[in-house]
Chain A
Amino acid sequence: MTHSITPQAATAAGTSPLLEVEDLAVWFPITEGVVFERHTGDVRAVDGVSFSIRRGETLGLVGESGCGKSTTGRAIVRLYKPTRGAIRIDGTDLAGLEGVELRNMRRRMQMVFQDPYASLDPRMNVASIVAEPLEIHGVGTGSERRERVGELLSTVGLDPSHAVRYPHEFSGGQRQRIGVARALALQPDLIVADEPVSALDVSIQAQIINLLGRLQDSFGLTYLFIAHDLSVVRHVSDRIAVMYLGRIVELATAKELHDRPLHPYTVALLSAIPIPDPVREVSRRRIILQGDVPSPVNPPSGCHFHTRCWLRERLGNPEQCVAEAPMPRDLAAGHQVACHFAEKTDGSAEQVLSIGRPVPSASTAPVAPPPTTAGA
């Protein structure tokens, strides 16, 4: 088997989705007993998630801690085996793949991890770390790999001569660059970035985000960008999916989601972002959700959000929220909401206050523009 080290043709940017996730569920079994294990329940970390990402697009995935966004990302790179559902890359379903076939598909998707201190092996120098994916997949000879490592390091803005150093000799931002270089080594199509900047200083966050944007432009990369910080996600994403307790509650373009949030949960999330205008900031009222996220072992019936929903309370606690799980509905072009009463949010005081300015009406709302390959 000979593998060429030249860049793959990643220029076929079109409207066809690169990644399609359909009804993905990841349940972790809970067992009791030491010798004879009994299956007593499941942690439903991800429970029926569907979305697709076009080539060259960035999809942001946001939600509170424990909502299943990281599990979704890890299931896509097949660190977890999905309980049900499909994960298709260019039409090939990864969910059932094993062995060599899975290994070959892994080349097309790489992951950038949250903690740049924990994600680099402290006993390996930078050259071995960055070359490892090449080694695992048998790409190139020793000298070709060394050359490629130097190339990758300069691509991410590091000095190639630093390849002989060890991770502990670098700062957090530099370490994350090493992680990005490693993810790029196999020229993947898809990069799953799991909170890639959450562990970094704010000043360094911008550098890494700009680096990711630049790499997307030059290599035509597709990103699944997972974060809990809506303001960061809004900045980098073409479209944003909001997750709550294992399900996607709202999916829209970044601008649409910000200008006209329709799910009561998204409205609450947006109201937590400070507005950089003191007058409006003082006058607005935050929506504070009561209580914690319910346990994914025993999620609430119907709509998972009904136990904390401000809209349901105002509507007089309708039974439908408890009885029936809302399916995602298309409320505007490309704007999906999973809420029985999403229309009631539109134009509400909460919606206006959460974004701090008047909401463009549904009729004048811009039709979702086709996402461009340009990043942030």
Chain B
Amino acid sequence: MTTRTPPVTLAVEARASRGLWGDAFSRLRRNKPAIVGMVCIVLFVFVAITAPWLAPFDPNKGGLGKSFEAPSLAHLAGLDKLGRDELSRVIFGARISLLVGVVSVTVGLLVGGVVGVLAGGLGGKVDMVLMRIVDVMLAIPGILLAIGIVAWLGQGLVQIMLAVAVTNAPIFARILRGSLLALRDAEFVTVARSMGADGRRLVLRHMLPNALTALIVAATLALATAIIDVAGLGFLGLGPPDPRTAEWGTMLTDSTEALRRAPHLIFAPGIAIVLSAIGFNLLGDGLRESLDPRLKR
């Protein structure tokens, strides 16, 4: 009896070609902490978007007689001092954190990105002037700078976004400028220069795509910081001025005031802040590892 050997197929030829992004993504999928981070983020975003349907109660409907009620089956996280459902307020609070986080990081990324490209791409005097300004901004602790801006511009959601964006922008500018400077003498950039590529092409086509990985990691980590900064401002009484707005930091302050009467109130907003910030941190670390193959273990 003869057995026929199955035809050998060349796996190398069969597999589709994928770029460095594809490679990075497949590495990311094998990174467990990053997956945990992504689950946290997906949960956070889902809660924020579906808040009106997900929340069991109206976050602003209270009853004075029910102040500081302990957690029960109906109110899983208890009721606050105005008798509002704490869980529903935490769910609605996710919207504020997500909105402020995404908007402020995006604005910071745009401003910092432009400054970084100008400094790293043009170099020389432009670089020196821009980087000295960045140095001054980085010398002031982020939260202090944010407090100063909110105190100056007045309380409000837009002011908070602006404050967090301003603290983020110099960090992005510095990171992008550093990566671009390192890439300026990379051999593939020299090759393009020898072929007659102009400065715009060198920066936008060759240097920027290769500098992006560091920026993506920084932006992800910055989202975690932004959420904490927003909560921090709220905790210090610089949150949204409308007392009806459910904001995690403000809720935390309110609950510390009533810590002896109703200790249960600190848990829900505290856990929400920790989970969302940790989610972005884990994903950021995972991205750092998967986008830079040199760091592979």
Instruction: List the interface of chain A (C-beta within 8 A of B).
Output: 74, 77-79, 102-103, 106-107, 110-111, 113, 115, 118-123, 125, 132-133, 136-137, 164-166, 168-169, 179, 182
Minimum C-beta distance from B210 to chain A (A): 6
Q: A118-B188, A122-B20, A136-B201 are in contact. Are A79 and B194 (CB under 8 A)?
A: yes
Q: Does B261 contact A (CB under 8 A)?
A: no
When A79-B194, A113-B191, A121-B188 are in contact, do A165 and B209 touch as well, CB less than 8 Å? no
Residues of B contacting A133 with CB < 8 Å? 195-196
Choice from A122, A165, A182 contacting B210 with Cβ under 8 Å? A122
Q: Which residues of A contact B192 (CB under 8 A)?
A: 121, 132, 136
Q: Given A113-B187, A118-B187, A121-B188, do A166 and B195 touch, yes or no (CB 8 Å)? A: no
Given contacts A110-B195, A166-B19, contact A123 B187 (CB under 8 A): no
Q: Which residues of B contact A78 (CB under 8 A)?
A: 194
Q: Name B19's contact: one of A102, A118, A125, A182 (CB within 8 Å).
A: A125
Judged by DSSP, the binding face of B is helix
Q: When the two chains form their complex, are residues A166 and B196 in contact, meaning their CB atoms are under 8 A apart? A: no
**Is A120 touching B17 in the complex (CB atoms < 8 A)?**
no
Question: How many chain B residues touch A (Cβ–Cβ < 8 Å)?
Answer: 20
Pick from B23, B186, B195, B206: contact of A106, CB below 8 A: B195
Known: A79-B194, A113-B187. 10 other contacts (CB 8 A): A79-B193, A106-B196, A118-B188, A121-B206, A123-B19, A136-B192, A136-B196, A136-B197, A166-B18, A166-B20
**Residue B190 CB within 8 A of the other chain:** yes
Asked if A123 and B209 make an inter-chain contact with CB atoms under 8 angstroms apart, the answer reads yes
Q: Which residues of A contact B196 (CB under 8 A)?
A: 102-103, 106-107, 133, 136-137
User: Sorted from nearest, which 4 A-B pairs have the closest CB atoms?
Assistant: A118-B187, A106-B196, A123-B209, A121-B188
Which of these, B17, B188, B194, contacts A165 with CB under 8 Å? B17
The contact sample of 15 A-B pairs, CB cut-off 8 A, is A79-B193, A102-B196, A106-B196, A111-B191, A113-B191, A115-B187, A121-B188, A125-B19, A132-B192, A133-B196, A137-B196, A165-B17, A166-B18, A166-B19, A168-B20
- Which residues from B are CB-within-8-Å of A113? 187, 190-191
The answer to whether B17 and A121 touch across the interface, beta carbons within 8 angstroms, is: no
- Whether the Cβ atoms of B188 and A120 lie closer than 8 Å is yes
Decide: B191 and A123 in contact? CB cutoff 8 A. no
Residues of chain B within 8 A of A103, CB atoms compared: 196
Please measure, in the bound complex, the distance between the C-alpha atom of A169 and the C-alpha atom of B23, giving whole angstroms: 11
* Bound-state Cα–Cα, A164 to B19, Å: 9
Which residue of chain A is the closest to B212 with respect to CB atoms? Answer: A123
Which residues on the A side are within 8 Å of B210 (C-beta)? Answer: 121-123
Question: What chain B residues lie within 8 Å of A77 (beta carbons)?
Answer: 194
Q: Considering the chains assembled together, what is the distance between the CA atoms of A122 and B193 in angstroms?
A: 16
- Contact code string B166-192 (vs A, CB < 8 Å = 1, else 0): 000000000000000000001110111
Q: Is there contact, CB below 8 Å, between B20 and A119?
A: no
CB nearest to B208 among chain A residues:
A123
Chain A residues with CB below 8 A from B190, complex form: 79, 113, 119
CB <8 Å contact, A123 and B20: yes
Residue among A106, A118, A164 making CB contact with B17, cutoff 8 Å: A164
- Chain A residues near B18: list those with CB within 8 A: 166
For B213, the closest partner residue in chain A by CB is A123
The CA of A107 and the CA of B209, in the complex, are separated in Å by: 26
Chain A residues with Cβ below 8 Å from B19 are: 123, 125, 166
CA distance A233 to B186 in the complex (A): 27
> Nearest Cβ distance between residue B113 and chain A, in whole angstroms?
17
- Considering only residues 186-245 of chain B, those with a C-beta below 8 Å from chain A are 186-188, 190-197, 201, 206, 209-210
